[in-house]
Amino acid sequence: MLKSKNLLIGIVGTLVVIVLVVFLLAKDNAELISPQQFNSLLQSQPIKSVSIGDDYIYLYTDSKSYKTAKSVFSPSNLQDIAIKVQGHMELGEIFAGIGIVVLVVLGVMVLGRALFLTFKKPLPSSSIKPFYQTQTFQENASRLEDTPMAPPIHSSVRFKDVAGIKEVKEELLEIIDYLKNPKKYQDLGISLPKGVLLIGPPGVGKTMIAKAVAGEAGVPFFYQSGSSFVQIYVGMGAKRVRELFSKAKATTPSIVFIDEIDAVGKARGGNRNDEREATLNQLLTEMDGFEESGGVIVIGATNKIEVIDEALLRSGRFDRRVYVGFPDLEERIEILQIYLQDKQYHLDLSEVARMCVGFSGAMIASLVNESALSALRRESKLIEMRDILEVKDKVALGKKKIQALSEKEKNILALYQSAKAISAYWLDVEFDKVTLMGEFILDIDKEVLSKSEMNNKIKVHLSGIIALELICKEKYTNAQDDIKKACQIAREMCEEYGMASRIIAREGDISEILTLAFEEQKEFLSNSKESILLLAKQLLEKEKLNKESIKEITQNVF
């Protein structure tokens, strides 16, 4: 009899909980609209009531309810809305606000007590409570759920505030115009890239570029670090991704910027865990779903594109990739002007910029700041060249040697790169421009390559070390990467393409190809010393030369 009574109580309690669950599921069925649509409804529709919650503003008409993001309205806007519409809270809202808490507590208590009395059994002494039911885990998970997403930023940064990114600006002008005038593109059936991936070493200004895009377009800017999505609790990372994109869609047009996106976008498989994969899958899904809402551009930043999952890089997600490199001479002068504009100085900016070969924008900012501190220690308000010289090595400390080059090293690099550029020009190996630092030969993806084309690539990679041997009578360590590439091409010719003297290649065939290319190119470069020296001089002055400049120099010599 007692068990039947307890069972009846349990059934009633279960029904109460089911009713509460249904009520909770149906509680917030308001349609999510943009702020513009919200203002339009406020002016044109008969309004029953308006209520302001933690994240959303709710608008109730006779037939439907709507909501829009609260974060885009200023406090004065919210006050105007409250004065304009004197609504009243419905009984269901009061019930949802206070009564639901009481009912949930009572329902859970009744159901728990009934089930406990009905099915009570002694637990074995050896039973161990799973770790995921412990209070510590539940408290931590609850704390993560309650952590609010960062509100959107209305960026005040403009392109004029970011120097040294001329080529990057040109790539992003279409994005800005689309965010300003989306209807112009939509009327013509044009869809712009859904995602832009900024790729470059640390400190070159990827975050500043994203802020400048948002500032130029005048749209909300949602910033998140890739690591903020990586949680130890399954489902929490995916939940944060959904919340971020939900808020971005509610404030369209807008920009979502994910810094260090490789933290959440690493290739799946191997030692990856379920939580990281679930988060990445949610990000892929959200980027695919932009066609319905439109007006949301995703900008990601990374310096490790090689580890990012291929699905994230495919068309329809990050369609456009923008490479942000170290600034050249003219760009470094512009950056120095920006950071020195509110300081007193007596400097030749061109001379300072030449001393900073390989410095990123962040390193130049640090150089200026440290120089100002050095001047302050001298009890002077004027930054002078001696302050720059005193802190230059301190700023570069810990960086690769190539980022703080001596005059001798710059001369060696100029000769090395000039020899490669002249060889590439005469051998028709694709390149766009030659720089004082870094690889400039384009890796064109062609289905069919001839033996001559592959031999020419080997010759270009060997040209730098040959030129230094001819002119400086010495070999240097900067040829390491080019030698590896030349050996790799020769190995592919022998082992994969049957281009050696024998179809079935032997170990000596690789050496034979490399030696023949070396000797032929040495003969060519020994007759091109004048061109190499002239081009190296120009490269030292400008640090970057396009193909037309190289053509002009070589034609004048020959």
pLDDT in tens, 341-352: 888 988 889 888
Around Cβ 479, how many Cβ atoms within 10 Å? 19
pLDDT at 397 over 60: no
Q: Which residue has the higher pLDDT, 378 or 62?
A: 378
pLDDT at 365 over 60: yes
Instruction: Give residue 115's pLDDT band: very low, low, confident or very high (50, 70, 90).
Output: low
pLDDT at 520 over 90: yes
pLDDT at 81: 66
Q: Does domain 2-97 have CATH number 3.30.720.210?
A: yes
Identify whether the C-beta of residue 224 lies closer than 8 Å to the C-beta of residue 313. no
- Stretch 70-92: mean pLDDT: 57
pLDDT at 517: 93
Q: What percent of the chain has pLDDT over 70?
A: 71
Around Cβ 353, how many Cβ atoms within 10 Å? 23
CA 344 to CA 456: how far, in whole Å?
53
Rank 137-151, 232-246, 309-323 by mean pLDDT and report only the highest.
309-323
Q: What percent of the chain has pLDDT over 90?
A: 13
Instruction: Give residue 144's pLDDT band: very low, low, confident or very high (50, 70, 90).
Output: very low
Residue-wise pLDDT tens digits, 19-60:
665 665 555 567 777 777 777 777 776 666 777 776 777 777
Q: Which residue has the higher pLDDT, 468 or 88?
A: 468
CA 48 to CA 338: how far, in whole Å?
54
- Stretch 227-253: mean pLDDT: 74
pLDDT at 141: 46
pLDDT at 402 over 60: no
Q: What is the mean pLDDT of the chain?
A: 76
pLDDT at 128: 43
From the CA atom positions of the chain, what is the Rg in Å?
Answer: 32
- Stretch 163-189: mean pLDDT: 79
| H helix intervals, 218-328 | 236-250, 262-265, 274-288, 290-293, 310-313
- Stretch 172-194: mean pLDDT: 79
CA 358 to CA 336: how far, in whole Å?
14
From the list 372, 392, 388, the residue with the least C-alpha distance to 380 is: 372
pLDDT at 469: 93
Q: Report in angstroms the alpha-carbon separations of 144 from 168, 283, 515.
A: 37, 19, 63
Place of tokens 């270009």: 460
Around Cβ 163, how many Cβ atoms within 10 Å? 22
Cβ-based neighbours of 202, under 8 Å, separated by 6 or more: 303, 360, 362
Instruction: Give residue 78's pLDDT band: very low, low, confident or very high (50, 70, 90).
Output: low
Cβ-based neighbours of 216, under 8 Å, separated by 6 or more: 158, 159, 176
Q: Which residue has the higher pLDDT, 7 or 473?
A: 473
CA 505 to CA 550: how far, in whole Å?
38
pLDDT at 379 over 70: yes
CA 451 to CA 427: how far, in whole Å?
13
Cβ-based neighbours of 506, under 8 Å, separated by 6 or more: 500
pLDDT at 150: 61
- Stretch 357-361: mean pLDDT: 82
The CATH architecture assigned to 159-323 reads: 3-Layer(aba) Sandwich (3.40)
Rank 3-7, 18-22, 42-46, 400-404 by mean pLDDT and report only the highest.
42-46
H or E element that contains 440: none
Q: Which residue has the higher pLDDT, 533 or 28?
A: 533
pLDDT at 498: 87
Whether the CA torsion 211, 217, 219, 222 is positive or negative: it is negative
Model's pTM, two decimal places?
0.51
pLDDT at 381: 87
pLDDT at 212: 86
Q: Which residue has the higher pLDDT, 78 or 96?
A: 78
Identify whether the C-beta of residue 252 lies closer than 8 Å to the C-beta of residue 241. no
For the CA atoms of 276, 281, 282, 285, what is the dihedral angle to 10 degrees? 160
Q: Which residue has the higher pLDDT, 120 or 73?
A: 73
- Stretch 370-380: mean pLDDT: 89
pLDDT at 390 over 90: no
CA 479 to CA 473: how far, in whole Å?
15
pLDDT at 168 over 50: yes
Break the chain into its structural domains and give their ranges.
2-97, 159-323, 329-397, 407-557
pLDDT at 443 over 50: yes
Q: Which residue has the higher pLDDT, 110 or 356?
A: 356
The CATH architecture assigned to 407-557 reads: Up-down Bundle (1.20)
- Stretch 226-235: mean pLDDT: 62
Q: Which fold has domain 329-397?
A: Helicase, Ruva Protein; domain 3 (1.10.8)
- Backbone phi and psi for residue 250, each to the nearest 5 degrees, phi listed first: -75, -15
Residue 433, Cα to own-chain centre: how many angstroms? 26
Pairing of strands 382-384, 344-346: parallel
- Stretch 295-307: mean pLDDT: 82
